[in-house]
Amino acid sequence: MKRSSRLLIVSNRIPVRRMRRSGSTSWEQSSGGLVTALAPILQQRQGTWIGWAGNTGRAPEPFSLDGIRYQPVSMTKGELDDYYFGFSNRTLWPLYHDSVRAPEFRRRWWWPYVDVNKRFAEAVAAAARPGDTVWIHDYHLQLTPSMLRELRPDLRIGFFLHIPFPPEELFAHMPWRTQILEGMLGADLLGFQTAAGARHFAAAAKRFTEAHGPAGDMRFRGRHVRAAAFPISIDVDRFEMLAQDPDVMARRDRLRARLGGNRTILLGVDRLDYSKGIDIRLRAFEELLKSGAAKPSECVFVQIAVPSREEVEDYAQIRTDVEQIVGRINGEFGEAGQATVHYLHRNIPQPELVSHYLAANVMVVTPFRDGMNLVAKEFVASRVDDDGVLVLSEFAGAANELRAALQVNPHDLDGVTASYEAALSLSRADRRKRMRSLRRAVKRHDVFDWADHFLEALTS
Ligand code: ADQ
């Protein structure tokens, strides 16, 4: 990147929390892979992060925190309902995840989506200096690249989609497909989690817009647009460091003891989202117990689920479904004082999360579709002991890299159950061999490399 050019990051939410203490307000950076990866670059470049601060009504004044300038964008309560919960999370999210729930195409959500995207573009246009580099993130802001280009043709514009881009035939259902594609084509570089995502995008762009040429060098209205895969990763060193922290290791030991000494621990960690396949993995565990292939006294399932988008009905429904399955399994197989499934519906701090990764014998990651899935990579990065088995859906972006996992089709209940049996019967030598191979894959590139590669490609 040119030294003089500043970097502006644009995402739906700015990664900060507002803290109120004794009448005064201050800001605190929230954790997360994206902010960890981008913070050093933003600090170096005197960068700005533009996004919604989490409150409706007037946006807070711009502020600086740890060397990064934050510029909040305003949002009304109605826009939050229509742009965020509506179009982003009831239309785009299900459609882009293989329509595992029916996407709702409502005209009254479309215009607020356009308006909010426009507001973001205007905020960036006002904040950017000539020749700056802008990196826009995710499905909430697919129209912002072209809106911004119209206002500021001098900027370098990159866009990264964190969720899958669906196959052309599925994307074709979208009533506003041409507008969305043209919106994205305003960027110079479009990043996807997988090569398939880039391919799907290029196929749809060629069918529904004037774009032509191969994904890696498309032409659109006289400009070059490049679509390519930039698989996201994690801060590998941080997970390795946490995994070797004596405090975290002591927690792992306490956790194992509490769960019943020698019982085999199966673990799931997710946002409580219907795309993550939490229901199928618990049902497969139920099948495993029913068949007698494993005894409740010998194994235990721990499912940690962060509350997510609870205002959306499909999310309330998956919560009810999961809780019913947990209750059913415990009712049938638990004993007083010995649950068969432990279910935690909350956010837990990262050191605690890592102690769970370390305690687990089998990590179960079974999304029906997932852009990448960082949990799978975090588990592998944490296993400095070269032990533990990863059961991974072949429909997670991470499956492209994590080849040595036991890969499963989450639509196949018997297949998932069989994968548990296989996981439980792997010898220590087999587990080590697989985990070593997984660790090599995860260590090959971390989230800092990801950000560097994208920005290098954008500015070269
Ligand atoms: P998500 O759908 O949120 O991300 P994922 O990639 O698994 O999914 O990231 C979840 C993050 O939340 C992980 O870092 C995990 O540690 C954390 N987390 C999960 N449960 C938690 C809990 N109970 N307490 C605390 N932390 C918890 C979207 C896409 C993914 C893509 C990422 C990044 O859907 O496919 O990998 O963006 O691009």
Residue 453: per-residue pLDDT: 97
Q: Which atom of ligand 1 is nearest to the CA of 371?
A: 35
| Residue 269 beta carbon below 6 angstroms from any ligand 1 atom | yes
Q: Are residues 214 and 319 in the same domain?
A: no
Number of domain units in the chain: 2
User: Does 2 reside within a domain?
Assistant: no
| Residue 306 beta carbon below 6 angstroms from any ligand 1 atom | yes
Q: Which atom of ligand 1 is nearest to the CA of 396?
A: 35
Q: Are residues 189 and 49 in the same domain?
A: yes
| Distance in angstroms (rounded) separating the CA atoms of residues 116 and 357 | 39
Please identify every residue annotated as catalytic: 162, 370
Using DSSP's 3-state secondary structure scheme, residue 156 falls into strand
Instruction: Tell me how far the alpha carbon of residue 11 is from its chain's centroid.
Output: 13
| Residue 271 beta carbon below 6 angstroms from any ligand 1 atom | yes
Residue 296: per-residue pLDDT: 96
Q: What torsion do the CA atoms of 33, 35, 36, 39 make, to the nearest 10 degrees?
A: 160
Scan for tokens 């866009």, then name that residue. Answer: 159
Q: Are residues 36 and 116 in the same domain?
A: yes
Q: What torsion do the CA atoms of 310, 316, 318, 322 make, to the nearest 10 degrees?
A: 100
Q: Are residues 202 and 314 in the same domain?
A: no
Q: What torsion do the CA atoms of 50, 56, 58, 64 make, to the nearest 10 degrees?
A: -40
pLDDT in tens, the chain (460 residues): 555 689 999 999 999 998 888 788 889 988 777 888 888 888 888 899 999 999 999 999 999 998 999 999 999 999 999 999 999 999 999 999 999 999 999 999 999 999 999 999 999 999 999 999 999 999 999 999 999 999 999 999 999 999 999 999 999 999 999 999 999 999 999 999 999 999 999 999 999 999 999 999 999 999 999 999 999 999 999 999 999 999 999 999 999 999 988 999 999 999 999 999 999 999 999 999 999 999 999 999 999 999 999 999 999 999 999 999 999 999 999 999 999 999 999 999 999 999 999 999 999 999 999 999 999 999 999 999 999 999 999 999 999 999 999 999 999 999 999 999 999 999 999 999 999 999 999 999 999 999 999 999 999 8
Q: Which atom of ligand 1 is nearest to the CA of 269?
A: 20
- Determine the distance separating the centroid of ligand 1 and the alpha carbon of 272, expressed in angstroms: 10
- Determine the distance separating the centroid of ligand 1 and the alpha carbon of 410, expressed in angstroms: 18
Question: Tokens at residue 273, please?
Answer: 């989202």
| Residue 31 beta carbon below 6 angstroms from any ligand 1 atom | no
Residue 3: per-residue pLDDT: 54
Q: Which atom of ligand 1 is nearest to the CA of 234?
A: 14
Q: Are residues 176 and 200 in the same domain?
A: yes
| Distance in angstroms (rounded) separating the CA atoms of residues 351 and 109 | 40
CATH of residue 293: 3.40.50.2000
Q: Are residues 191 and 273 in the same domain?
A: no
- Determine the distance separating the centroid of ligand 1 and the alpha carbon of 154, expressed in angstroms: 35
Residue 37: per-residue pLDDT: 82
Q: Are residues 274 and 216 in the same domain?
A: no
> DSSP states of 169-230 as a string?
HHHTT-TTHHHHHHHHTTSSEEEESSHHHHHHHHHHHHHHSS-BS-GGGEEETTEEEEEEE-
Q: What is the best residue among 373, 402, 442 to mutate for testing ligand 1's pocket, by most ligand atoms within 8 Å of CB? A: 373
Q: Are residues 349 and 295 in the same domain?
A: yes
Q: What is the best residue among 374, 395, 400 to mutate for testing ligand 1's pocket, by most ligand atoms within 8 Å of CB? A: 374
Relative to beta strand 156-160, strand 218-220 is unpaired
Residue 4: per-residue pLDDT: 63
Q: Are residues 86 and 28 in the same domain?
A: yes
Spatial CA neighbour of 200 closest among 232, 177, 223, 176: 177
Q: Are residues 377 and 455 in the same domain?
A: no
User: Does 158 reside within a domain?
Assistant: yes
Q: Are residues 20 and 162 in the same domain?
A: yes
Protein residue closest via CA to atom 37 of ligand 1: 162
- Work out whether the CA dihedral 235, 240, 243, 247 comes out positive or negative: negative
User: Does 135 reside within a domain?
Assistant: yes
The residues, ordered by sequence, that sit 6+ positions from 423 with a Cβ below 8 Å of its Cβ are 361, 362, 389, 391, 406
Q: What is the best residue among 137, 242, 270 to mutate for testing ligand 1's pocket, by most ligand atoms within 8 Å of CB? A: 270
Instruction: Tell me how far the alpha carbon of residue 357 is from its chain's centroid.
Output: 18
Protein residue closest via CA to atom 38 of ligand 1: 162
| Residue 345 beta carbon below 6 angstroms from any ligand 1 atom | no
Q: Which atom of ligand 1 is nearest to the CA of 193?
A: 38
Q: Are residues 308 and 194 in the same domain?
A: no
User: Does 1 reside within a domain?
Assistant: no
Residue 274: DSSP 8-state = G
Q: Which domain holds residue 38?
A: 7-233+447-459
User: Does 221 reside within a domain?
Assistant: yes
| Residue 365 beta carbon below 6 angstroms from any ligand 1 atom | no
User: Does 72 reside within a domain?
Assistant: yes
